[in-house]
Structure 1
Amino acid sequence: MTFKRFTGNDAALLLIDHQVGTMGWVNSLPFEEIKRNALMLAKSAQILRMPVVLTSSMEEYAQGPLLSELEEILPAEFAARIKRLGIVNAMDDENFAAAVNATGRKRVIIAGVTNDVCTVYPALSLVSMGYEVQVVADAGGSPSKLADDMALRRMEKAGVTLTSTNQVIAELVGSWSTPEGGEIVQQVIMPALQAGN
């Protein structure tokens, strides 16, 4: 099987339920690590001018609001976020499915909270619909390491490519010598390294 890297020109980013309450339920990775990685993805997508779809579930309840930093990085996408009313599989929400379709991209990068509920089902659905799917394992998490492992194994078995934040950003950039690559080094990679990534 030949490798054809995902690029900013052919992929879309789906950020699912990076809500302050939901993220607090994760024990497989530290809250701050998931937050940093999700924001690194958002900022990289913004620099690369990639389509981004944001979604949340029941913000008024224990799940809480989306990370406020996402509004700073992606104001239009934040305003257009899909607010699901408790629908577990985001692809079962007609507004979310329409937003994904509207990106015009058949290659998607997904990060979500939690991996064992909010990420696994849309990832499986998208693969079954013929999308190429990468799931960023360290920009999400689950209530336990076992739950996270089960979700990641299930997705991988179904044809999802598992990746990490730094790995997928490097793949999307392709060359740090491009203007976008240089901008991502300065605005995304270096601040993360200085923060202890």
Structure 2
Amino acid sequence: MSLNLFTPEDSAVLLIDHQVGTMSWIRSAPFADVKANALALAKAARALDIPLVLTTSLEDHAQGPLLEEFQQVAPAEFADRIQRVGVVNAMDDPNFADAVRATGRQNLIIAGVTNDVCTVYPTLTALDRGHRVQVVADAGGSMSTLADEVARQRMANAGAGITSTNMILTELARHWATPAGEKLIPIVGELIPT
């Protein structure tokens, strides 16, 4: 029996619209927690050489720029982020879809803001295109708790796994004494409440 767990070798991380404006719209989770979790995913991707694709929508509008901390964590990916010009479903943007395809990875780890818009549609599209998807629910949020619950349920019903940041990081690590585990210990440690 195979657990079909995601590994660093078969996964890519997609972070969608973690922008100053969109992040301010979240009411389903604390801003600081969502930000810390999204940055932890980016740090883990860099530490484990997992392809990382960043995208934004309408940076010069209410959505605002991508959180500047991503530039410190993943400077190349920050510079190469896909800047969509209004396409709601990131997977409908040819540049984003091409970037996802270029990762060569079947397993997608997705987090976005908001979950009920920016996460749900790319997830449904990726599943329809044959990808396996895990949505990192606590690295995103929605304008209400109800909207978040409905989005998670819709994605789960379509076949996505719903996970947390800590859960996906430990899934990628598998064993703390491995090279991957040793690289992830400090990232996981940053998420422990003080």
Residue 45 of structure 1 and its aligned partner are, at CA, apart by: 0.8
Percent sequence identity over aligned pairs? 57
Distance 1:173 1:98 in 2: 28
Match of 1:92 in 2: 92
Residue 192 of structure 1 and its aligned partner are, at CA, apart by: 2.2
Residue 62 of structure 1 and its aligned partner are, at CA, apart by: 1.0
For structure 2, the 5+ residue unaligned runs are none
Residue 181 of structure 1 and its aligned partner are, at CA, apart by: 1.4
Residue 109 of structure 1 and its aligned partner are, at CA, apart by: 0.3
Distance 1:68 1:182 in 2: 27
Distance 1:171 1:177 in 2: 14
How many aligned positions are there? 194
Q: Which amino acid aligns with 2:2?
A: T
Distance 2:78 2:179 in 1: 26
1:174-185 alignment, distance < 5 Å: 174-185=174-185
Offset from partner CA, 1:67-94 (integer Å, 9 cap, x none): 1111111111111100001100000000
Residue 174 of structure 1 and its aligned partner are, at CA, apart by: 1.1
Offset from partner CA, 1:50-81 (integer Å, 9 cap, x none): 00100000111111111111111111111110
Q: What TM-score results when the alignment is normalised by the length of structure 2?
A: 0.97
Match of 1:49 in 2: 49
Measured on the aligned residues, the alpha-carbon RMSD in Å equals: 1.1
Match of 2:109 in 1: 109
Q: What TM-score results when the alignment is normalised by the length of structure 1?
A: 0.96
1:1-197 alignment, distance < 5 Å: 2-186=2-186, 188-193=187-192, 196=193
2:40 counterpart SS class: helix
Distance 2:64 2:165 in 1: 24
Distance 1:179 1:132 in 2: 25
Residue 182 of structure 1 and its aligned partner are, at CA, apart by: 1.4
Runs of 4+ in 1 over 2 A off after TM superposition: none
Distance 1:9 1:174 in 2: 13
8 Å CA contact 2:48–2:183 kept in 1: the answer is no
